[in-house]
Amino acid sequence: MYKTMDSVRPPKVAEWMLRRVFPDGGDGTSLGDFEEVFQAMIEERGKFRARAWYWMNLLVSFYSFIVGKMVWSVTMYQNYVRVAFRNFKKYKGYTFINVCGLALGVACCLAIYMYIDYERSYDNYHADLDRIYRVAVRDMDDPDDPGSARIGGPPGLILRQQYPQVEKVAHLLAVHDFVMKRGQKVFYENKRYYADTDIFSILTIPFLKGNPNTALDRPSTVVLTESLAAKYFEDEDPLGQTLQINNRDYEVTGVMEDPVANTHLKADCYISMKLIEDRYPFDEWFLANLYTYVKLRPHADAEALNRRLERFIELHGDEETKADNESHVIYYLQSLADIHLHSHLDGEPEPCTKPEYLMLFGAIGVFILLIACVNFINLSTARSTKRSREVGMRKVIGGHRGQLVRQFMSESLVVTLIAVLIGVLLFERFLPFYRNVTHIPLTAGQLFTFEILMVLFGLVVIIAFVAGLYPSLVLSAFHPIQTLKGTRTRGTKGSGLRKILVVIQFTLSILLTTGTVVVFQQLSFMRNESLGFDKDQKLVIPLRGPVRIDKNYDLIKTAFTQHAGVYGATASSLVPGQQEGRWYAEVVGDEDTEAQVLNFHHVDPDYLSQYGLKLVAGHFFDNQMMTDMEKSYVINMAAVKAFGWASAGEALTKKLSVFQEGDIIGVLDDYHYKGLQFAIEPMAFLWTPNRFDNITLTVDTKNLDHVMPHIRATWTEFFPDHPFDYFFLDESFDQQYRAEDRISKILGGFTFLGIFISCLGLYGLASFTAEQKTKEIGIRKVLGATVPGIIGLLTKEFMKWVLIANIVAWPVAYFAAKEWLQSFAYRMDIHLTIFLISAGLVVGIAMFTVSYQAVKAGLADPVDSIRYE
Amino acid sequence: MVTRAEELILLAVWRLRDQAYSVQIRNQVMDVTGKFWSFGAVYMPLDRLVKRGLLDSHLADPTPERGGRAKRIYQPTQEGLKALAEIKKIQESAWDGMPELEFGDV
């Protein structure tokens, strides 16, 4: 190695890069070239300029390197693409199957991706998200208790006053269903929260008008959403104006944007907490009514605070509270972004989504994509015979294997690109439909975000690779001499793998089908199972906001029943399907029987007959025995069991103490007052007129046209100032199954697509086999084979694999179904029939697909087929 | 067919005789065209010409001013010379009868 005297060397990094790009067979001539000019530059212009020159020229050289390479590879790829398109034209059917299957798969994936992405996006828009939390509470002694999203007042107040790492604390108190009134405009509105004004500095709730820092500082102030403001004030400026909520005047101090869809907290309006500050018991630890949001200071240690919260009662409670905290209640911080998917507590302001469902849908997306990829692999390898000559020819002319792989990979890339394009268009086309089913506010615009483009790009790469790799390896491995000589490498090569793939494909299809059948059956089981009460023909009039009835409820009921179309009426605090209030009930004079949590229903004597409930022992409330009013209890059998009494009769000898002491006068048989997801819990009924919130009318639903005017008129007669509202019990009760309903629809749709894509592939394979066996079938027929025999011959082969798929799929489906059904307290049994139904469905469709080709082949004239080839 | 760049480089190699290595070739084409050529713009066509058998190359002894690296000397093959001759012929017949003057005003 020579060494220059002054030994100024070119930049090391630049040399390294140069060596990478122009290796020159490793002899370093390019390095030499650069250095020669470099050294000359040093003489002429100095070191600095020389270095700059080196770098400049290196970069410029890269440019010509890249362009030079591209021109030539593009030329090559142009050829690949041209050949690909020629092939597509030649085999239109197969191309159609491939593109169609993949496009559907891509559309499904996109749909599922957007669904999952939406569910995961909940509340991710809040500023300082990482330091916003909700304080929740959980009972450590009761593993079945999910905990509550709402807590008592003291933790929030103490956090605000004594914990410097907490920047802001805000309480929310939900009061739903209210009447809003301004002038002639009177409507029921839904979601109202009493709130501290700090809520606006914790959560990101953009104000259109008013000052978020002071909006709720005074009592009787309200912040409305944009749409409520528009509804009541139209074009006027609502700021400073007055409107009535439940007959009380409020000043509008702010207008906020409508809540976005992906937040767990959707409020129509916020009312100042100041209004109830003196009246609400903020010092009650165990009155769990307040949503408590906190924002920590930057860099505050949430973990440390969590550890303090766990012992909060111990640290901050008074003696009485500590004594009450027998069951060991702990508080903890919930990250705001986690609430929608990971909270699932009692009293959530919005139903949460189970993350398992997201996983389920993710899995379905992958399944469907796999099914589509399998089509591609199978059809390409099956047709390999067709292209063996081409491969042989290319090899003889001098194409090496790498180039052939590249060629076949580019074919799969082209197919994939086309499929993804069509898939996106397809999804865009069905977006409104999808939006309706899933209730996700998706817009076409969201399809063209950077993220989605990356997903699509990923899909293209993955599909092209997964689907294209195996066929290209198989095809490029053909031996040129054999293929050209005509010793044909039959399509049988790789047929083992093809069969396995078909089995996988149909296993996935059967899994999806079984899943759908199970969900559908469970749904219809829940809809049709006897609930133990009448839910038909029940028209419910809710008494909302300021509307109250008390002792005059009888008068109102009588007025409603004046019409022949109204068969009866009953007043109650709740109707089935609604969440009731719970309270501890102790048995009087019996220290040994443990106090039980009961669900309390306040009903009038007609509740029994109107809802068709069954009395097991004792008697129900009676209009003739006014002494029972507000004093006596009727309980259900579940309560009898909970207290540990031997029989309903024994219960009649007991006295309960809840708000006050009272006899148990009757026992009702259990009925499903909530959906069948839930077990029947112990209940107690009281006859308390001032707690009545609903009037249920049993009406002649066939003659609603005649009945409704009467009901409406009666309402106006008693409550002239309040809007009339009603719903039908069967509809509202079924709302409890909305989540399952949605799942079943989505699952059903995807399953259909999955089977459809599988069958596309099967159709392709079957037609290929029939084509390959044309001659064989011809000879068989000449020798006396019957048409059914031929059809059997062709079908048998495929059916064997579909049946094997069943055997693989059943156990998996069984365990998956069992797992899902666990979330229902009342569930159907998993019968063999479910599997038979889904297997029959899939086998039937597959059979239909294959037999079309089989019949065509079987009926063909042997003369033509023997002449074939 | 050879591209314009390949043609220029082939010609430069032929002219430079035993001095035909990339630095000189690049200087030559820069002189002829009066434009800047990067090394990359010289290497790529050289590579292609070698691959297509129009040029041959061998390594010469390393020199100190090249940091001890060898030069790669190129020379036209029979094919290359034939290609040059053909280019010349095509050029001449294409230009045949074109009066010089018509370009004067461009």
Q: pLDDT tens digits for A547-593?
A: 778 778 888 888 888 888 888 899 888 888 877 677 778 888 777 77
The pLDDT of residue A1 is 40
Supply the Cα-derived Rg of chain B in whole angstroms: 16
| A65:B43 CB<8 A | yes
Say whether residue B19 is in contact with chain A using an 8 A CB cutoff.
no
B64: chain A residues, CB-CB within 8 Å: 2-4
Say whether residue B5 is in contact with chain A using an 8 A CB cutoff.
no
CA A168 to chain centre: 32
Residue A793: both structure tokens together: 């011959």
pLDDT band at A169 (very low <50, low <70, confident <90, very high): very high
Identify which has the larger pLDDT, A382 or A668.
A668
Q: How far is A51 from chain B (nearest CA, A)?
A: 15
Nearest CB partner across the interface for B40, out of A1, A36, A62: A62
Instruction: For residue A107, count other CB atoms closer than 10 A to its CB.
Output: 24
From A556, A544, A541, A563, select the one nearest A718 (Cα to Cα): A556
| B59:A61 CB<8 A | no
The answer to the question of residue B41 being in a domain is: yes
Mean pLDDT, chain A, whole residue set: 83
Say whether residue B44 is in contact with chain A using an 8 A CB cutoff.
yes
Residue B44: both structure tokens together: 């790529």
pLDDT band at A23 (very low <50, low <70, confident <90, very high): low
Give yes or no for residue A6 having a pLDDT over 70.
Answer: no
> Is the CB of residue A308 less than 8 Å from the CB of residue A155?
no
From A153, A182, A353, select the one nearest A269 (Cα to Cα): A182
| B65:A65 CB<8 A | no
Give yes or no for residue A3 having a pLDDT over 50.
Answer: no
The pLDDT of residue A132 is 92
| A64:B44 CB<8 A | yes
Give yes or no for residue A676 having a pLDDT over 70.
Answer: yes
Give yes or no for residue A150 having a pLDDT over 70.
Answer: yes
Percentage of the residues of chain A whose pLDDT score is greater than 70:
96
Q: How far is A171 from A291, CA to CA, in rounded Å? A: 6
Q: Name residues whose C-beta falls within 8 Å of residue B100's C-beta, 6 or more positions apart in sequence.
A: none
Q: Which residue has the tokens 């149909």?
A: A506
Q: How far is A466 from A501, CA to CA, in rounded Å? A: 13
Q: How far is A279 from A21, CA to CA, in rounded Å? A: 79
Q: Which residue has the tokens 């000898």?
A: A653
From A470, A498, A497, A490, select the one nearest A387 (Cα to Cα): A490
> Is the CB of residue A603 less than 8 Å from the CB of residue A569?
no
The pLDDT of residue B66 is 79
Alpha helix positions (H), A281-383: 302-310, 312-316, 319-324, 339-342, 355-382
Residue A201: both structure tokens together: 């500095």
Q: How far is A382 from A97, CA to CA, in rounded Å? A: 14
For chain B, the domain total comes to: 1
Give yes or no for residue B5 having a pLDDT over 90.
Answer: no
Highest mean pLDDT range out of A523-537, A705-719, A816-830?
A: A705-719
> Is the CB of residue A615 less than 8 Å from the CB of residue A668?
yes
pLDDT digits (tens, 9 = 90+) for A686-708: 888 888 888 899 988 888 888 88
- What is the average per-residue pLDDT within A476-481? 79
Going from N- to C-terminal start, the domains of chain A cover 12-79, 129-342, 355-526+738-867, 538-729
The pLDDT of residue B12 is 92
The answer to the question of residue B94 being in a domain is: no
Residue B33: both structure tokens together: 């065209």
pLDDT digits (tens, 9 = 90+) for B23-59: 899 999 999 898 888 888 888 888 888 888 899 888 8
pLDDT digits (tens, 9 = 90+) for A401-411: 888 888 888 88
Identify which has the larger pLDDT, B99 or B77.
B77
For testing contact with chain A, the best of B26, B44, B52, B57 (most A CBs within 10 A): B44
Say whether residue B40 is in contact with chain A using an 8 A CB cutoff.
yes
Percentage of the residues of chain B whose pLDDT score is greater than 90:
16
pLDDT digits (tens, 9 = 90+) for A745-779: 888 888 888 888 888 888 888 887 777 777 788 88
Give yes or no for residue A293 having a pLDDT over 90.
Answer: yes
Q: Is A587 helix (H, G, I), strand (E, B) or coil?
A: strand
State the sign of the Cα–Cα–Cα–Cα dihedral A484, A488, A491, A492. negative
Give yes or no for residue A134 having a pLDDT over 70.
Answer: yes
Could you please report the per-residue DSSP string of B21-82? SHHHHHHHHHHHH-S---HHHHHHHHHHHHHTTSEEEEEPPP-GGGTTPPPEEEEE-HHHHH
The answer to the question of residue B84 being in a domain is: yes
pLDDT band at A371 (very low <50, low <70, confident <90, very high): confident
Q: Is A197 helix (H, G, I), strand (E, B) or coil?
A: coil
Q: How far is A221 from A35, CA to CA, in rounded Å? A: 80
Tally C-beta pairs within 8 A across A and B: 91
Q: Name residues whose C-beta falls within 8 Å of residue A708's C-beta, 6 or more positions apart in sequence.
A: none
Nearest CB partner across the interface for A28, out of B21, B40, B69: B69
Alpha helix positions (H), A203-296: 226-233
Q: How far is B60 from chain A (nearest CA, A)?
A: 10
| B40:A1 CB<8 A | no
pLDDT band at A452 (very low <50, low <70, confident <90, very high): confident
Instruction: For residue A859, count other CB atoms closer than 10 A to its CB.
Output: 11
Note down the domain range covering B37. Answer: 4-88
Q: How far is A237 from A25, CA to CA, in rounded Å? A: 79
Identify which has the larger pLDDT, A189 or A224.
A224
Say whether residue B62 is in contact with chain A using an 8 A CB cutoff.
yes
Give yes or no for residue A742 having a pLDDT over 50.
Answer: yes
Q: Name residues whose C-beta falls within 8 Å of residue A16's C-beta, 6 or more positions apart in sequence.
A: none
From B13, B56, B46, B30, select the one nearest A68 (Cα to Cα): B46
Q: Is B93 helix (H, G, I), strand (E, B) or coil?
A: helix
Eight-class DSSP state of A203: S
Q: How far is A484 from A31, CA to CA, in rounded Å? A: 47
Q: How far apart are the first and last CA of chain A?
A: 69
Which run of H or E residues covers position A294?
A: strand A290-296
Which run of H or E residues covers position A136?
A: strand A132-139
Which run of H or E residues covers position A778?
A: helix A774-782
Could you please report the per-residue DSSP string of A779-834? HHHHTT--HHHHHHHHHHHHHHHHHHHHHHHHHHHHHHHHHHHTT-SS-----HHH
pLDDT digits (tens, 9 = 90+) for A707-727: 888 888 888 888 887 788 888
Beta bridge partners of A200: none
Percentage of the residues of chain A whose pLDDT score is greater than 90:
3
Q: How far is A202 from A205, CA to CA, in rounded Å? A: 9
B72: chain A residues, CB-CB within 8 Å: 24, 27, 29
The pLDDT of residue A372 is 87
- What is the average per-residue pLDDT within A234-260? 88
Beta bridge partners of A697: A539, A569
| B68:A1 CB<8 A | yes
pLDDT band at B106 (very low <50, low <70, confident <90, very high): very low
- What is the average per-residue pLDDT within A147-173? 89
pLDDT band at A223 (very low <50, low <70, confident <90, very high): very high
- What is the average per-residue pLDDT within A285-307? 87
Q: Which residue has the tokens 């390594």?
A: B59
Give yes or no for residue A2 having a pLDDT over 50.
Answer: no
Q: Is A657 helix (H, G, I), strand (E, B) or coil?
A: strand
Cα nearest neighbour of B6 on chain A: A68
Could you please report the per-residue DSSP string of A855-868? HHHHHS-HHHHHH-
CATH code assigned at B83: 1.10.10.10
The answer to the question of residue B80 being in a domain is: yes
Q: Is A253 helix (H, G, I), strand (E, B) or coil?
A: strand
A53: chain B residues, CB-CB within 8 Å: none
From A12, A1, A15, A8, select the one nearest A41 (Cα to Cα): A8
Identify which has the larger pLDDT, A28 or B93.
B93
The answer to the question of residue B101 being in a domain is: no
> Is the CB of residue A333 less than 8 Å from the CB of residue A135?
yes
Alpha helix positions (H), A686-737: 704-718, 729-734
Give the pTM.
0.72
Q: Name residues whose C-beta falls within 8 Å of residue A234's C-beta, 6 or more positions apart in sequence.
A: none
pLDDT digits (tens, 9 = 90+) for A767-813: 877 777 777 888 888 888 888 888 888 788 778 888 888 888 888 88
**Chain A positions with Cβ closer than 8 Å to B:** 1-4, 9-10, 21-22, 24, 27-37, 39-40, 57, 60-65, 68-69
The pLDDT of residue A5 is 47
